[in-house]
Amino acid sequence: MELRWADEAEAERVGALLAGVREVDGRPEETGFSGDRHLYAEDGGELVGYANLDTAGDSFGRQVAELVVRPDRRGQGIGTALTGELLTRADRSVRLWAHGDHPAAAAIAERAGLKRVRELLVMLADATTADWPEPAPAAGIALRTFEPGRDEQAVVDVNARAFDWHPEQGSLTVEQLRATETEDWFDASGFFLAEDRGRVVGFHWTKVHPPNPRRFGGERVGEVYVVGVDPDAQGGGLGKALTLAGVRYLRGLGLGKVILYVEGDNAPAVAVYSKLGFGRHEVDVQYGR
């Protein structure tokens, strides 16, 4: 087996590898990774493993890496070799994702001297039985849906204030939001804004995922994609009202399950979602030195 670094992504080969991994693991959701450095593990010309290093890093400047091994070549040291090479090239602050908290990833991390530094919980609710009453925002707060071409800057401003602590979400830009509006899954009718005397103070952006045979029973699922509340408007139940508006909308689409991602150490948010019928379903882990 040979390891080879490249600055260019071999989209077709990598896409085929990721698709094969997804058929077995249900992950990754993406058909490619966004980092700028690419590490290929090849055996006889065949791609048997791949790692991606994002040198720009997260919102705090920490480099981020992801890696996969072809399912029929697991248990042969390929993941260990990819991890070792990544750690040789990356900054000491690098973090490696393990989606789904796979036991093999935990073993590789332990051998490499890495520790669990972040847990991202996937929580799930049964939309057919959950008690989701009509949202009741505080007096003076009005809920409406997102208008493309009008609301981008207001959403980005609230997002930056609400997620200044978050490794990924806090860096959302107007250009990125507008680009997302061109995606097939984007639905302005499921993007709720909260206004206080005309000023946007919160939002709930929902998403619908196509069926994945390896996850969530193979059903389409809705997602509480992002809920953001301006710090000046927190504490009055606005986050709950926005969440209810979104999950009721997703249930109205005929979806039986709704998921969300939340930081494992965000106890207040986990408590709110638990009261709304969400329970821990999966966990994604970041390992670091």
49 in a known ligand binding site:
no
264 in a known ligand binding site:
no
CB 241 within 8 A of CB 134: no
218 in a known ligand binding site:
no
263 in a known ligand binding site:
no
236 in a known ligand binding site:
yes
Mark 78-87 as b/e (b = at least 16 C-beta within 10 Å). Answer: bbebbbebbb
67 in a known ligand binding site:
yes
257 in a known ligand binding site:
no
Nearest-angstrom CA–CA distance, 69 and 241? 42
147 in a known ligand binding site:
no
228 in a known ligand binding site:
yes
202 in a known ligand binding site:
no
Number of neighbours of residue 169 by Cβ within 10 angstroms: 17
227 in a known ligand binding site:
yes
69 in a known ligand binding site:
yes
Biggest distance spanned by C-alpha atoms of the chain: 67
237 in a known ligand binding site:
yes
- Name the binding residues for acetyl-CoA: 67-69, 227-229, 234-240
- Name the binding residues: 67-69, 168, 207, 223, 227-229, 234-240, 261
